[in-house]
Every structure is written in C-alpha cells, then in structure tokens.
Amino acid sequence: MRVAARLIEGDPQHLGDYRLAGRLGEGCRGVVYEAYDPGGRRVALKVLKGDPELWAGLAREAAAAGRAAPFCTAAVLDAGHAGPRPYVVSEYVEGPSLRRAGRIFAGGDLLGLATAIATALTALHGAGVVHGDLTPDNVLLGPGGPRVIDFGLARTPAMSLTSGRLGAGAPAYAAPESFTGEGTGAPADVFAWGAIVLYAATGEDPFAAPTLDAVMRRILQAGPDLSPLPGTLRDLAAAALARDPRARPTARELLTTLVAGESRAEPPVRGAEPPVGCVEEVTPGAARGDHGSPGAAPVAADPLLVTGGDVAARLRTACDDPGLGTLAEDAYAALDPAERELVREVFLRFVVLPAGGGLVTRGVRAPRAGIETRVVEAFGCLVVRRGGEVALAHPALPYAWPRLREWIEADRHRLMARGGRVRPALLALIILVVSALAIAVAVFGVAVFGVAA
C-alpha cells in the first residue's frame, strides 16, 4: 500500500486553499505533496525550488497546460506564484511511476505504454505546450491507463526555444540539443519518448553512464541498442532518437503510426494526416478514465487522441493507494459500536477553530488505558504519539475525511470558543510573569526612594 511520508520540519502544512497531508517525493526541481482542497478532493501539489523569479511565468504556463486536451495526462488544476513558495496543483493519479513499477514491458503492454505517452505529447503539443522534463519518473501507471504528469515544469515554446539549459530535464533523457545550446522544443519531448520506450522494454536508462560528461558523450555520439524493441516500435524509436531534431517525427506522427497497428514497418512519413473520422464530443476527463468535472461542457475531441486514449486505457495497473479519508473510514468501520461512540469526541479534541478563521490541528494528552486507547490505536498511521501527547499525523485529515468534516461543522461554535481561549497553563504562566514583574518594580522603587530619603 502506498502512503505518503509524513511532513518533515520546514514543510508547510497548507498553501493557498490546500492542506498538505504528506510527501510523495522530492527531486531537484521541487517537492511533491499529497494535498486536499477545501472540498476534500485529493490532489498532487508540487512546490518548486529555486529563485522565485524563475517561475514568474508560472500562471501563464499552467493556463497553457490546462488547455491541453484531456488524454493520458494529469490535469493541471491550479497554480500559486505569489510568495516564496510557488506551486502547481494537478490531478492526483493513483499508481506507481514507470520507474518505481519495477517491471519490463513487452507485446501489447509495451505498445499501450508507447501509445499513451505519444497521446499525451500530441495533446500537449497541440496546445502549444512543451513538457521539457519527460522521464520514467513522470509517467504514472494508473488504474485507468498510463498518464504523463508534472506539467508544473511544462514550458511554452517561447520559453523552451530560448532556454536550452541542461537543468530543463534529467540528463539521461535530454535531447542532444539540450547540451549544444541550440534550444529545445517539442522535438526534445519526442527524443525523450524514444528513450522511455526503450527503458520500458529493458528496465535500464538507455544513456546511463557514471558521469554527466559520459552521459553527454553517449547522447551526442553513440545511439543505444534498439534490438529489444519489436519491429514498428524499433523504427519509431530510431526516428525519435535522431540527433538532428528536424529529422525526428512529431508526436502526432508517432501516434498516427502507433494506432495504425504494428503491421506497419516503416517510420512515419513527415506530415502524415490523422485518420479520417467524425469529430467526437467528449467531456473533459472522460478519456482519462474518470468522469470529468461536474457540469463540464463537452469539447470537440480529436479522433486521433480518442483512439490513442482507448489504446492506452487497455493497459491498466492494479494499485493500492487509498486516500486519507478512505483509511480513516475503514478504521472507523472496523470498530465495535461502543468504540465508535467515542471516535467523534476523541478526534474533535485535535481540532481548534481560531477566531480569525481557518482550522488548526493540535496535540492532546494521550489516553493511558481503556477504550480511548483502543480507539486511538485503531487509526494506526493517522495518529502519531509525541511524548505524552497524541496528534493527527496528517494535518489534512479534517479536509480528507468527510465524516470528520461533518462533526466539525456540527460542533463549530464549541470549537471556535475553544480556539478563542487561552490555555490554563499559558494563562497561569502569564499571571506568574506579571506578578514577578510587579514585585520587581516595587522592590526597585523602595530601594531607590529609600536611598534618596
């Protein structure tokens, strides 16, 4: 079962309207958190590293990525660019990354994976977006098929063609032009597609080497061994990995050949037209295996993307990746009736509603024995012990667990009164300090005026 690691010191507990639940991973470009919006929807929130000025165009880039047709991608939902922690919010995809899956792909599964990534790139490039950081870590194997993620680092062509920095992607999947200063664009994504397909068939990074210089030499001078790939995919990968970006097929040309079936042995013809067919009306998200957003208007779907999405959806990956709300509800259901009666009061002790608004979680004295102890222990990884206190391990739990949200709303007035009070221990300390100061002032006054007299 995949569960996000707990937040560590220095991690924010909330950003914008989102409550952070735990860490999903960290890379050189940022930290990815499991988070929840005020309605309890589970999302992936990436906090970007580096100089905030480098992300000045974040909102524009996120808007461009959001215009991509919803096929084999994780939708970009929001972006926050004000303040010292710029972040991108995207749809949460259950399932491991291609790298973490630890499996070798062959036959129909390999074709489905290659088609899914080509479909995602076709959708992105059609919206004028270059991914720019496509690696096996940015392909998730979800229950509805493979999905390309991490559009928080997506770049528009205007930025991509002028950057040309190695830091734009993982070196082993960077196109030759990334190292020569020519600038990178959509062809660099196609190069990464070829390298990822070969990785999926072998389990090894195709240009791996001990040093960065060695990686660069392999990419610039020596092509990888493509013999593990079957006929059509071998030809497509060879074309995609061409050193000259102008010689590579487009993502759309890749997809056109892939959906035509493995019977074609030739690389795609430059400028190939998509299959002829009627434009289909679909709801955003339908091709990703979900139901789209409530009330979402149908969009005119490219028939090539529809076909690619259908092929990709056949590659389904079973995963055990429950959200916090599911974990909490399962623990609650496993209790006996007497224990359930106590859950509400035990969990409401963790919550404070300050007078200024918002919601704060806190630690409370740990029960020493009896039924309350069994209740706390039943929630396992959701509650953590710290010395003589227990606290919620994930501050987002009140957002993620609908039952707890209902309890908080029903008891809002009492929780707000609790939030407005000064704790008795703190009040006693304040009285003690004030009294000591008063005595010190009195003593000092007597000494001064006594001497003067």
* Identity of the amino acid at 27: G
For residue range 392-411, what is the model confidence (pLDDT) as tens digits?
988 899 999 999 999 998 98
- Amino acid 370: pLDDT: 82
Contact 125, 250 (CB under 8 A): yes
Could you give the C-alpha distances from 438 to 311, 422, 425, 429, 445, in angstroms and in order? 79, 22, 20, 14, 11
Q: Is the dihedral of CA 325, 20, 44, 284 positive or negative?
A: positive
3-state secondary structure at position 351: strand
**Cα–Cα distances in angstroms (integers) from residue 86 to residues 51, 234, 328, 440, in the given order:** 10, 40, 30, 49
How high is the pLDDT of residue 442?
63
Joined together, the tokens standing for residue 435 give 């009294």
Of 17, 51, 109, 133, catalytic = 133
Distance CA 104, CA 117 (A): 16
Q: In Å, how far from its chain's centre is CA 276?
A: 36
Q: Where are the alpha helices (DSSP H) in 203-302?
A: 212-221, 231-240, 251-259
CB 327 within 8 A of CB 21: no
- Environment class of 215 (CB within 10 Å of its CB; exposed 0-12, middle 13-18, buried 19+): buried
Please report the pLDDT score of residue 229 as a whole number. 95
With H, G, I as helix, E, B as strand and everything else as coil, classify residue 10. Answer: coil
Distances (CA, A) of 266 to 225, 227, 239, 270, 382: 18, 16, 10, 12, 54
Q: How far is CA 58 from the centre of its chain?
A: 16
Give me the residue spans of the domains in the chain. Answer: 95-275+299-313, 324-422, 423-453
Specify the 3-state DSSP secondary structure of 59.
helix
The single-letter DSSP state of residue 181 is T
Q: Angle between the 402-410 and 337-348 helix axes, to the nearest 10 degrees?
A: 60
Helix (H, G, I), strand (E, B) or coil at 419: helix
Q: H or E segment at 90?
A: strand 87-91
pLDDT score, position 85: 83
Q: What is the model's pTM?
A: 0.76
Per DSSP, 168 falls in state: G
Say if domain 95-275+299-313 classifies as CATH 1.25.10.10. no
Contact, 364 vs 388, CB < 8 A? no
The reply to whether 133 belongs to the active site is yes
Write down the pLDDT at residue 273.
41
Q: How confident is the model over 424-453, as pLDDT tens digits? A: 554 455 556 556 666 766 665 556 555 444
Q: CB neighbours (10 Å) of residue 366?
A: 16
Q: Could you tell me which of 358, 450, 346 has the C-alpha nearest to residue 399?
A: 358
Ranges under pLDDT 70 in the chain: 1-3, 28, 51-61, 151-169, 262-300, 356-357, 417-438, 440-453
Which pLDDT belongs to residue 34? 93
